Structure 1
Amino acid sequence: MSKGSFPSASGRRGGTLALVLAALAPVCLGGWLVWDTMGSGQNDGGGAPASSLPTVSSTSSPPPPRPPSASPKNEIDGKPLTGKVVVLDPGHNPDNRDHTSEIARRVDIGTGEKECDTTGTATDAGYSEAAFTLDVSRRARALLEARGATVKFTQDGDRSYGPCVDERARIGNNAHADAVVSVHADGAPAGDRGFHVILPKSVRGGAADTSDIAAPSRLLGERVRGEFMEATGSAPADYIGDGSGLNVRGDLGGLNLSTVPKVFIECGNMRDPKDASELTDPKWRERAALGIAQGITDFLNR
């Protein structure tokens, strides 16, 4: 058979392509009409409103957009404590020892009377509790302010003595604080180790009424206990209460007279050599401050 008896390969491909295009033309035209009716999907205002679009059912639909409230409570520009007021109460005062008569006077704590303040304890080497509490509180303040909190002190080494325990409570009350933490270190016998958080007992008497703050103060104390333990690696005190690291008391004016959530933390025992080696270590004090700050943050963003 001669070469001209059959169509060329290019001729066959051309004929096939023409048939395919002819078959697809109605389908493409219909699709374009549907697309034109629904709009192009561009955010230019030219398409149909979303409510008029057909619903497409799917068993694997993507989750809805995250609402703004799903971000951490109160967080503004990465600062979760924006708008919160925290009062830190550095226990005692480095100059109390020079004002023994002033700090010895009795003040009303609602359920009785107690000394205005005390000198606090110290390590065997002479590192004072008052110096410790100021250092840890200042470190915690820096962390809390970086998170957006307004932080106030009851004293910042700027007073000749005190303040008295009743005034310490008033400072937190007048600030309308969202949380108050009083920072201390204990003076138990050597061999007793660990930290503990003191919670206010529900008491009523005179100017004292902790019935409204006892429950939130416990929550604050539990958060501080957990974060302090994690940050420092310290164990709850083995000589206070049931070993839980929580101790409820009704004889402390700073707690009895508080009208806002408040706890004390005894960060360790200054009279024990092993605890003292930690309390005098600046790196450990930074971790202690972190634990306190994180506990407060957890409580305020619960």
Structure 2
Amino acid sequence: MSYAGPEFETPQPRRPRRRPLALSLAVLVPGALLGWLVYEGVSGAADGNGTAAAASPRASAPPTASSTTADDKAPSASLRGKVVVIDPGHNLTNFRHPAEINRKVDIGTNRKECDTTGTSTNSGYAEAKFTLDVAHRLRTLLERQGATVKLTQDGGRPFGPCVDERARIGNKAKADAVVSIHADGAGAGQRGYHVILPGRVHKGIADTRRIAAPSAELGKLIATDFGHATHTRPSNYIGHGTGLDTRTDLGGLNLSKVPKVFIECGNMRDSKDAALLTSKAWRQKAAQGISEGIVRFLRG
């Protein structure tokens, strides 16, 4: 702001003294400005306690979704503390041990063979190979959810285990859920999946009264999610279209003290079902469907 008037006349410039002053200012002002910027930068880099502080608003901004890397992604812990036992039906080398697998064991309601060889597709793809493959895929999916997963057999046994031992493995693990994986061997034209539920048994060493209801709930969830994941329909020959079948003649169910079901994923003797069962991509879908049912059951 400039003033004009008697008290504030505009002074005449004195050229000899002005040049040195301008030169001094030209030197001093940038230097002072630089010093101020350095001071602010240093004081802004730490607070009063020497703790590092944000140097700029950009540095202090929270990370955006786009800044998250793959390393930040971790497995879900939704099933942490839950135990799941997967029971891959039969064993690839059962046929080499007929005496052992034909030995009768007590299942409460009666005595039955220790195990069987299982079935196969017409082209020779064995049920035991199918069940172990799906079991491995299912284990991976459940472990990603944080569950502790145990298998009743992992291809390292010469035969079995027997049906009573399969039940004991789940009981000993105090499993929150047990699923026995199978594929059926019915006639051609009989298609679809079904889940076998334990009936109410209280006889001899078998007592399913406590687990019948939760097992039924587990089975219903698996049946629903399996159908959605695989885009297949419930059995057209068992369960009257519900995909559910209740039985009291299976030792693996009768002797279980924890929620347990069997799933027959399809009919290996039907060519259309066999085409699905022998597909790796479809087996992954089968594992996904079973997994989703188990997860829903365990989350309540």
TM class, shorter-length: 0.7 to 0.9
Residue 77 of structure 1 and its aligned partner are, at CA, apart by 7.0
Query: 1:209-288, aligned counterparts within 5 Å?
Result: 209-288=207-286
2:197 to 192, 196, 199: 199
Superposed CA RMSD in Å reads 0.9
Aligned to 1:159: 157
Aligned to 1:138: 136
Residue 135 of structure 1 and its aligned partner are, at CA, apart by 0.1
Aligned to 1:186: 184
SS state of the match for residue 114, structure 1? strand
Q: 1:80 to 1:187 in 2, by over 3 A?
A: same
Q: Distance between the aligned counterparts of 1:192 and 1:78, measured in 2?
A: 39
Q: Distance between the aligned counterparts of 1:206 and 1:79, measured in 2?
A: 40
Residues 229-277 of structure 1, C-alpha deviations (whole Å, 9 max, x = no match): 0100010000003110000000000000000000000000000000000
Query: 1:50-129, aligned counterparts within 5 Å?
Result: 78-129=76-127
Residue 78 of structure 1 and its aligned partner are, at CA, apart by 3.1
SS state of the match for residue 264, structure 1? strand
Q: State the AA in 2 paired with 1:207.
A: I
Q: Distance between the aligned counterparts of 1:285 and 1:255, measured in 2?
A: 24
Q: State the AA in 1 paired with 2:247.
A: R
Q: 1:77 to 1:118 in 2, by over 3 A?
A: closer
How many residues align structurally? 227
Aligned to 1:296: 294
Q: Distance between the aligned counterparts of 2:291 and 2:276, measured in 1?
A: 19
Q: State the AA in 1 paired with 2:172.
A: N
Q: Distance between the aligned counterparts of 2:94 and 2:76, measured in 1?
A: 40
SS state of the match for residue 229, structure 2? helix
Q: 1:77 to 1:129 in 2, by over 3 A?
A: closer
Q: Distance between the aligned counterparts of 1:108 and 1:256, measured in 2?
A: 10
Q: Which runs of 5+ in 1 are unaligned?
A: 1-75
**Contact 2:197/2:262 (8 A) holds in 1:** yes
SS state of the match for residue 211, structure 1? coil
Q: Distance between the aligned counterparts of 1:77 and 1:290, measured in 2?
A: 16
Q: State the AA in 1 paired with 2:229.
A: A
**Contact 2:194/2:239 (8 A) holds in 1:** no
**Higher mean C-alpha displacement, 76-85 vs 223-232:** 76-85
**Contact 2:75/2:144 (8 A) holds in 1:** no
Q: Distance between the aligned counterparts of 1:229 and 1:242, measured in 2?
A: 15
Residues 63-122 of structure 1, C-alpha deviations (whole Å, 9 max, x = no match): xxxxxxxxxxxxx97321110000000000001011111100000001100000000000
SS state of the match for residue 263, structure 1? strand
**Contact 2:201/2:208 (8 A) holds in 1:** yes
Residues 170-216 of structure 1, C-alpha deviations (whole Å, 9 max, x = no match): 00000000000000000000100000000000011111000000000
SS state of the match for residue 258, structure 2? coil
Aligned to 1:64: none
**Contact 2:86/2:181 (8 A) holds in 1:** yes
Q: Distance between the aligned counterparts of 2:256 and 2:268, measured in 1?
A: 27
Q: Which runs of 5+ in 2 are unaligned?
A: 1-73
Q: State the AA in 2 paired with 1:175.
A: A
Q: Distance between the aligned counterparts of 1:172 and 1:113, measured in 2?
A: 20
Residues 122-158 of structure 1, C-alpha deviations (whole Å, 9 max, x = no match): 0000000000000000000000001100000000001
Q: State the AA in 2 paired with 1:87.
A: V
SS state of the match for residue 159, structure 1? coil
Q: Distance between the aligned counterparts of 1:102 and 1:179, measured in 2?
A: 28
